Structures are given as structure tokens and as C-alpha cells.
Structure 1
């Protein structure tokens, strides 16, 4: 299983995350605002992707 951390850059990060999930990746999507829709293999985090300890 491969894992990634995605920065939610508006719709681009979300679309990329879903494409990678479709290919079998699991990931974490970091967003400053509220969490998006739930999906298996995807964990939403509230925070700033530039804050390394917060996304570790």
C-alpha cells in the first residue's frame, strides 16, 4: 500500500487525490477549511500544509 499527503489546492488537489485513490493509494488531504466528502482510503485534516509538524 502506498501513502501520500495531498495539499488541497482548491479543486486540483482534490481531483488528484481521487485519481490516486482510484489507483490504490491511500492518503491524507490537508485543507484549511472544513473536511470534504468521506471516501475510503482518504483522511481529511484541517491545517496548513506548510506546518510540517501538523501534517506529519
Structure 2
């Protein structure tokens, strides 16, 4: 795991609202992908893709 990933995953799996802020390529996808597999339901991910594209 990369820095912050395991903590975020454990937090979410424990039923807590979890905010993950990592740089591009930091490993955010794994954090919510594991949650989506663990919980058989809807997972909502907010991503500032438009703002990121404008900044780059």
C-alpha cells in the first residue's frame, strides 16, 4: 500500500465517512475500488476532474 491508502480503506470499512486527498497517481482508485468490492451497493466518488484538467 502507498502512504494513506490503508488508513483510508480501514476508515471506510469501519463505516466512517472518509475523505482522501492524494496527488495524481497517488493511489486513490484502490481506496474506493476495494470499498466497492467489499460493500455490495452504490459507492459515490467525488472527483474534481474538470478543475484538475484546467489546472494542468
Same fold (TM over 0.5): no
Q: TM-score, normalised by structure 1?
A: 0.35
> Which is richer in helix?
2
In our comparison, the structure showing a higher alpha carbon Rg is: 2
Q: TM-score, normalised by structure 2?
A: 0.35
